Amino acid sequence: MEREIISTKQGTFMMVIFVIGSSIVLGSSVEAKQDIWIAIVVALFMSLPMLFVYSKLLTSFPGKNLYYILEEVFGKVAGKIISLLYVWYSFHLGALVLRNFSEFVQVISLPETPQTIIIIFLGLVCLWAAKAGIEIIGRWTAFIFPVGWFVLLITIPLSMSKMHLINIKPVLHNDLKPVLSSAFSFFTFPFAETVIFTTVFNTLRNKKKTFKVYLSGTVVGGAIILLLSVRNILVLGVHITTDLYFPSYMAVRTLSIGDFIQRTEITVATFYTIGVFIKASVCLYAASKGVAKILNIEKSSQIVAPIGFLMMNLACIVYSSTMEMFDWINTYKYYAIPFQIIIPVITLIIAKIKFYVKN
């Protein structure tokens, strides 16, 4: 096994970008309407115990990743089968992320270009990054993040003059049910998707800080999503925000200060590209780690390329239209439950029981 080490800072930044990654552009849940900010806060609190579970798993087996832990806990055969599920999950998620990006590009600017081309070009970069290893991805993230979040958040004060506070009222007048349902959507996408980092964060230099990395990454990412969602509602109003496929893009599009700061929506698209790149690379990395572990291959970087190409293929065929993609986002929250909640919790419980039996 090759040894890779990432620092706490790199880990946190990677997590933040992973969390904001595709949520920044996709208007993921519209049920909560103007109470979307409550939904996001609730989702953050909902995800706290899960983050604890993920990091506890990692710290119980220091230096080992999820696939190793699964084999340790469930035995060789069962462990491999469950590992395969996680390989599928990260492989599929990576493909979905790539497809989201290509749909976005096609809808907003290149209607005639086949999505395959967009997927191939971004996919190749992801493949390269995943092949270079998590260390390289981490260092790249630490380099790009400080620029990225500034560009992303500067649009909020700039659009202040177009905000109307009335758009967010009345607070919590509609039932609590849509808010909770929205909160659950936000929980599964993107907060609990960080389960994928259980296959990555065994490389953290300071193992004791695993939970801290998990917590700060998700909270900072969540806070940015919160700010951007509230910005969208305040600027565009509830009706338009819920009508649009890509509300953030549109909210920034309306921004214009004097005649010189305008058409800044490209900043959103740029940050989205960065986010998708990181997210897809981490997913690809996680998937190839898993396959390597299942097939007992020494170097996981050897199989990154075939898996990456398969991922691009899946991305090309996974949806037939943009509408289908947005339908899937609603189904995704149920699909993700076993991967994000059930298996990690069971694994942790069994691991703890085994640990006590042994002593």
CB 232 to other proteins: min, Å: 12
**Residues of this chain that bind other proteins (CB under 8 A):** 107-114, 117, 166, 169-170, 173, 236-237, 239-240, 243, 250, 253-254, 256
Give the largest CA-CA distance in the chain.
71
Q: How big is the CA angle at 182 (ends 48 and 347), to the nearest 5 degrees? A: 40
If the CB atoms of residues 10 and 264 are measured against other proteins, the closer one turns out to be 264
Shortest CA distance to 287 belongs to which of 134, 66, 89? 89
CB 333 to other proteins: min, Å: 27
Whether residue 183 contacts residue 27, with contact meaning beta carbons closer than 8 Å, is answered with no
If the CB atoms of residues 156 and 236 are measured against other proteins, the closer one turns out to be 236
If the CB atoms of residues 82 and 235 are measured against other proteins, the closer one turns out to be 235
CB 169 to other proteins: min, Å: 4
If the CB atoms of residues 46 and 240 are measured against other proteins, the closer one turns out to be 240
CB 235 to other proteins: min, Å: 9
If the CB atoms of residues 3 and 173 are measured against other proteins, the closer one turns out to be 173
User: How far is Cα 345 from Cα 336, in angstroms, rounded to an integer?
Assistant: 14
Cβ-based neighbours of 33, under 8 Å, separated by 6 or more: 174, 178, 238, 242
Main-chain dihedrals φ then ψ at residue 107, nearest 5 degrees: -70, -45
Main-chain dihedrals φ then ψ at residue 257, nearest 5 degrees: -120, 120
Helix (H) or strand (E) holding 233: helix 210-236
Instruction: For residue 316, count other CB atoms closer than 10 A to its CB.
Output: 19
If the CB atoms of residues 75 and 114 are measured against other proteins, the closer one turns out to be 114
User: How far is Cα 308 from Cα 127, in angstroms, rounded to an integer?
Assistant: 6
b/e for 258-276, b at 16 or more Cβ within 10 A?
eeeeeebbebbbebbebbb
Main-chain dihedrals φ then ψ at residue 6, nearest 5 degrees: -120, 150
CB 237 to other proteins: min, Å: 4
If the CB atoms of residues 219 and 252 are measured against other proteins, the closer one turns out to be 252
CB 113 to other proteins: min, Å: 4
CB 102 to other proteins: min, Å: 13
